Amino acid sequence: MAFEHKSDDEIIISNEQFWETPPCDRHPAVCIDVVPVGEEDQDYTDKQTGITTTKSVPKVFLVFQVFPEDGSRDSEGRPFLIDNKFTASLAPAAILRLKLERWRGRMVAGKVEDRPFTNEELKGFNLAKLKGVPCWLSLIPNGKFVNVSDIEPYVDDSGNPITPAPTPDLAAYQRRTYKKKAKGEKAATVAQSNQPNSPGSNANANDKSAWIPF
At 200 the pLDDT is 42
At 201 the pLDDT is 39
> What's the CA gap between 22 and 164, in Å, rounded?
21
At 186 the pLDDT is 43
> What's the CA gap between 134 and 75, in Å, rounded?
23
At 181 the pLDDT is 67
How many other C-beta atoms lie within 10 A of the C-beta of residue 150?
Answer: 15
At 197 the pLDDT is 47
At 144 the pLDDT is 82
CB-based contact 37:61 (threshold 8 Å): yes
* Digitized pLDDT (tens) for each residue of the chain, 214 residues in all: 445 556 767 666 555 556 898 999 999 999 999 999 999 888 878 788 888 888 889 999 999 999 999 999 999 999 999 999 999 999 999 999 999 999 999 999 889 999 999 999 999 999 999 999 999 999 999 888 899 999 999 999 999 999 999 999 999 999 988 877 655 454 444 444 445 544 443 434 446 667 789 9
At 177 the pLDDT is 85
Give me the helices (H) in 55-143, please: 95-103, 119-122
At 143 the pLDDT is 86
CB-based contact 44:55 (threshold 8 Å): yes
Length of the chain: 214
Domains of the chain by residue range: 19-172
DSSP string, 61-84: EEEEEE--TT----TTSPPEEEEE
Q: Which residues contact 208 (CB under 8 A, 6 or more apart)?
A: 106, 107, 155, 158, 159, 160
